[in-house]
Structure formats: C-alpha cells, structure tokens
Amino acid sequence: MIDRTLLITISGIDAPGVTSEIFEAVAPAPVVVVDMEQLVVRGHLTLAIALELDASVTDSDAPGVLDQVRKRVRIAAGARNMEVATRPGVTLEIDLSREKFQVIVMGSPLYPECINIVTSTIAQHGGNLDRIHRIADYPVTAIRFEGSGVDHQTLRRPLAEVSVRCQVDISVQDVALESRGQYLVVMDVDSTLIQDEVIDLLGELAGVGPAVSEITAAAMGGELDFSEALQARVSLLAGAPATLIEQARELISLTPGARSLCRTLNRLGYQIVLVSGGFTNVMAPIAHELGVSAFRANTLEVVDGVITGNLLGPIVDREGKRQALMHFAQEFNIPNRRTIAIGDGANDIDMISEAGLGVAFNAKKVLRDSADTTVNVPYLDTVLYLLGITRDEILRSDRESKH
C-alpha cells in the first residue's frame, strides 16, 4: 500500500513566527492537516504535524509530493536552526472505544525517579501516554499525564500505592467529553477551609480546652462516634457567655490558599458548598466572605446571651455530610460524577466516598484510606491542580479580582 500520510516533528528554540513559517512552507502542497500539537518547555519548542495527501493526488504521484513537503519543511526549519524528523505511514484513525484517563502528579520537589515509577505503573496496567503537560510550578510542581487504553479506576489503587511510596500527591480521573461542565465542590470547614477546630477554640475560651480537645482528637481519628462526641463537647460549654462565639470567630485563620481556591472556582463557574460539623454561628460570615453558594452546619443554642450546651436541629454528622452532598448536587442539577468533596477527618469519610472525586486534605489516616486522592502540602489551592486547573488560570483569577 502506498503511504499517503506524513508525521513531521520540528524542535528547537521557540520564537514568534515559527509555526506560521512552517505552515507557509507546506501551504502550496496538496495535503490536509489531520492532527497537530505544539509544546513549549522552557523556551524549547516541539511541534508535531500529521499530514495526509489530498484525494486528488494519485498513488503514483504520492512519493514525489511527500518528498517535496519534506524538503520545504527542512528549508523553513533550517532557516531557524531547528531540527526536523519525518515519518511516513502514520496511522490516523482514532479509536474512540479506548478508555481515556488523566493522572496528575504533584510534588515539592518532584524527582525523576517518581516520574519513572508513575509512568511505568501506567504502562504495566495497559495505559499509553498521549500527552504530558506541566500545569503548575509553584508552590508545587504539578504534571498532568493524559492517556488511553485503561480505565481510570484500574489505575487508582496502584497509583495510590505509588503516592505513598514516592511521597507525592496523585489524582486519577476519567477524561470525559463534558470535562468542562459545571461542578459542585463540597468542602469541610474545620482543619480544612480553616486551620482551626472551632469547638476547641470555644473550649479554650470557656476554660475547658483540654477536655474538649481530647474528645475532638478521638472523634476526628475515628475512635468515637461523631454525634456523641459533638454533644459531649458542646455540653461542656453550658453556661458560657455567647460573646465567646464572636471571640472565636476573630481567632479563626483561613488555610493558606483558601481565598485563592474559592475565587478561582467561582470565576470558573463551580458551585461551592461548605458542609461542616462545626457551627453556623461561626461559619456564616466566612461563607459570605468567600462567596460560596450555600453552607450547612450545626447550630449552638443560645438563650438570654448564654450558650446552653445544646444543639438546634438535626446534627450534621458523617451521614449528614453525605446527605448534604447529595442534596446540593440535586439542587444545582449536577450529576454525582461532577461532585468533588474535600475533608480531613473521619466524619468526612461518607461524603468523600460518595463524591465523584474525594480529596483528603492533610487528613487523618482513616480518611486517607478512603479518599481517591490526597493532598499533603499546606496550601488549599493546590487542590485546583488535581482538578486540572492550571496555575495560569489561578493567577488570572487573582488579577481579575484586583480590578
């Protein structure tokens, strides 16, 4: 069979006009462009172009036409001191039945050995890498691997083991045609969105700090039932003045990157919901400041300016968080596969497991074992990289917020 296709790869120092000049050289030839991709890494350009002869070219004329294309490209690239490689007989058919996946690896730093282990693990499970792209260089290095040939679920467990072995964060996701549709992000608050445990702050202010903190640690580690632990801690606050709530609010510190995370997600059209085992009394101003779509939490009962030690309404516990995710997904008409849950403790397990993508953020081991992916750096906005959002998009949101 006569070869009617040609793959051309040009590489060298990038400069304005390179791509234009290459296509100017090819333009007179009776060929069509069927595929192309360009990548620039640290000023070095690699441009790949797949060409196919026009139907008007006979098989007898095909070799001569392709030869002429090669010569034209080499002359144009040579003028720029760039290297050219050509390969005939390129298979251009796309197998749409092949599973597609996306793997994002984050490290600070990211070592070559880790990349070797990640890519060999993908290959061992039948995956082929189609594209590799850096999406962030600060505060972590984040690399996105796009590939095909294996279901993303097949890769999750072996790459989770690689994550622990290499001490990097790895996210494995499906690549769907609707990947840019609307998403729902459901986020825990205490020790996730903020650096504090509000009940512990209230306990310190009320003079019962050690007793409250001890119960909190056991509950977040999965050693105690969350609802019982919450009621036990709240009861220790009985009789404390309600002014402690405002004092606790002023002591709260947002997790580094929290504002950037919310600002970027809002600009990209994501729905953000806060779901907390903490208290609406403290959370409402934070939710308003960050522009989230909705929030759900427990409410401390206050009577005559005094905290009674009771809670109002149903407790938002482990199951309550899962129900909240399902409720808000239905309210915003977002399918489960486009839901993302972020948390740190045992009471986030059901929410994390229910979500399309569950992220354990600096989490307790009991949650890390249940999550799809983990983040172990102290910057909440690095979660954006796991969603495939680049640092450039984050910086654009930051610039726009200042105008």
Q: Which residues are catalytic?
A: 188, 190
Query: Both tokens of residue 73?
Result: 């490209």
Nearest to 114 by CA among 167, 180, 182, 78: 167
First to last CA, the chain: 61
Give me the residue label for tokens 């997790």. 255
CA torsion sign for 353, 354, 357, 363 is negative
Give me the residue label for tokens 């290297």. 83
How far apart CA 178 and CA 167 sit, in angstroms, is 31
Close Cβ partners of 206 (under 8 Å, ≥ 6 residues apart): 236, 237, 240, 244, 307
Distances (CA, A) of 150 to 98, 129, 159: 7, 10, 13
Stated as kind and residue range, the H or E segment containing 155 is helix 152-166
